[in-house]
Structure 1
């Protein structure tokens, strides 16, 4: 792990981080392990013992075990966790080779932590400095995500894993139990038949992200056909239900949840995070009445999306986000509602500016009639390029 990130750091900032920054002491992490904090990652070298000068606050530690095979090590699934660090805090973890995971139980041992604090100066040459150059980017991606909200949204186990930990719905403790199951030795006639024969699986309790549930039914009980149609076109009822059930005291926390899901996907490789980000975004962008009532929520949404979309490579949209033209059609609805009657003038102008920014950056035309799934591209005059 290189220490070059401190070379261009402002001397006053460096001194303040040295005095006030937190320290992650990570012992026994195997050489070659992919490890990162926030928006930066490295391959661990033989001298690595942790990270120093970490700004107090919320951070995302992520890592991926690498096998020690001489023919090129295989990598395991990425693991991650959100950490809330205090000024001058020392957080201690030991690598568990059996679980291929970090064990933070030593941090609960005051005697052990005090021993590390007393020898911190000796450890210093083996600690890499926090990558200060990405701090601004990290803050822009998490400015709506409070420490409390992040801890409440991540799994009860405290670990966010790129692959779900699944177990059979029915547990068979003995060979006899499995032998008594009905068997069919004939070959499967279809993919569906084959899948039906597999054991039903479920996510292991405590390992799932604790995200807001979005109701499948978009209208209230007893709704008339006209109300059902209206609530299907304007998802404000569903949005208000999600806010009431999950963020009643602080509705703007929904933006924090949007950021949480995005970070889990972008830095933790969690596809469920991407799916939830898409669902929340569609819900927000297609709630016209809520846009009129919740100006601050939607002004915040524009800022959150501005920073998020700035971190995704343009070709990414072709591969994933543009499936069924999701992003362009979703944002087209948003911009159409934002320019509608009765909308706050500040929100309308901010939306217009954001629309122009995306049109320039990605060559999307939000004013076109998007009837098919192909990405819509603005034709630029000859010789004109987009930055």
Structure 2
């Protein structure tokens, strides 16, 4: 990472960031490590010692450790953490080669931080400037995500990891534990038998993302068959349950959770983030009653989705997002509910504009019957034979 990568920005902005921006001092990060902040990453060079001129606020630091050249120099899975940086703050970390991770303990040593601050000018040539050109994009992806929400959602370990840290459910420290496990000295008769012989794994405590729990049943206890049918078509009961249990004081924080899940996936490579994003989106888009009474939540949802869908590479839709028509069918329900009776006029107009924008940009037809699998009849010119 070098300062030649730097920012084409207004000199006044540059001076203000130099004076008020935060500094990440990252000592000992191995050369070749992929390291980034927010929406940009670099390969670490031999002179790298951190990032300077970081706008105060919430940021996502992410990195992939690299094996030594003798081991092929392979890049490991991505690790990330959310940081809420204050003006002129200096955050100090050193690379732990054993854990292949950054250790921020030094930031608690006030004497060491003051020493770094006093020598910041000497350190300056080794600090890469914050990639200001991605600042607007980063803010648009996280404007609803507060530090409090990010801290509450990220693992207790403080690290968001692309691959789950799993351990066996049964530690098998004793002979008796091992004796009770399926024997592996005979050939498996089926794939299921083979899978059953594998030790059952669970995520290491403290490493799991702490997303809101989505109710398995979308209807209240003791619901009549008619209520079950209604709550399966309009997911408002399930959505209100999520809001009550997780975001009671500030319902709009659910949009922050939607942004957190998206950032974890699109930048942190955490597939669980994508799965949770889909669940939340389906819940929000298919809750007609809630849409009628929570106008601000849905105006915010349109703004959040506008920026998120603008950042997804076009081929990504083909590979993942368009699987099973998830996005088009979910948004089709949203637009149908948004045009229904009792919906706020401003929300209805905003939804119509958003629908037109997506139709133009991605060529999605939200008025088509997505369940209609009948073959398309094509009129052929006269004289064209069909084998």
1:184–1:11 distance in 2 versus 1, CA, 3 Å? closer
Q: Which residue in 2 is equivalent to 1:127?
A: 127
1:32-111 equivalences under 5 Å are 32-70=32-70, 72-111=72-111
Cα distance in 2 for partners of 1:355, 1:189 equals: 53
Cα distance in 1 for partners of 2:372, 2:73 equals: 43
Q: Which residue in 2 is equivalent to 1:296?
A: 296
Query: Contact (CA 8 Å) 2:181, 2:197: kept in 1 or not?
Result: no
Q: What secondary structure is seen at the aligned counterpart in 2 of 1:208? A: coil
Q: Which residue in 1 is equivalent to 2:227?
A: 227
Cα distance in 2 for partners of 1:213, 1:159 equals: 20
Query: Contact (CA 8 Å) 1:5, 1:130: kept in 2 or not?
Result: no
Question: What 5-or-longer segments of structure 2 have no aligned partner?
Answer: 377-387
Q: What secondary structure is seen at the aligned counterpart in 2 of 1:369? A: coil
Q: What secondary structure is seen at the aligned counterpart in 2 of 1:227? A: helix
Shift in Å, 1:182: 4.7
Q: Which residue in 1 is equivalent to 2:369?
A: 369
1:71–1:93 distance in 2 versus 1, CA, 3 Å? closer
Q: Which residue in 2 is equivalent to 1:139?
A: 139
TM-score, reference length from structure 2:
0.94
Q: Which residue in 2 is equivalent to 1:360?
A: 360
Q: Which residue in 2 is equivalent to 1:256?
A: 256
Q: Which residue in 2 is equivalent to 1:383?
A: none
TM-score, reference length from structure 1:
0.94
Query: Contact (CA 8 Å) 2:67, 2:75: kept in 1 or not?
Result: yes
Runs of 4+ deviating beyond 6 Å: none
Query: Contact (CA 8 Å) 1:33, 1:44: kept in 2 or not?
Result: yes
Q: Which residue in 2 is equivalent to 1:153?
A: 153
Question: What 5-or-longer segments of structure 1 have no aligned partner?
Answer: 377-387
Q: Which residue in 2 is equivalent to 1:193?
A: 193
Aligned residue pairs total: 375
Q: Which residue in 1 is equivalent to 2:331?
A: 331
Cα distance in 2 for partners of 1:44, 1:316 equals: 27
Cα distance in 1 for partners of 2:340, 2:114 equals: 61
Q: What secondary structure is seen at the aligned counterpart in 2 of 1:189? A: coil
Alpha-carbon displacement from aligned partner over 1:169-226 (angstroms, at most 9, x marks no partner)? 1112246642564525321121111111111111111000010000000000111100
Q: What secondary structure is seen at the aligned counterpart in 2 of 1:77? A: strand
Q: Which residue in 2 is equivalent to 1:384?
A: none
Cα distance in 2 for partners of 1:7, 1:254 equals: 34
Q: Which residue in 2 is equivalent to 1:350?
A: 350
RMSD (Å) for aligned C-alpha atoms = 1.6
Q: What secondary structure is seen at the aligned counterpart in 2 of 1:249? A: coil
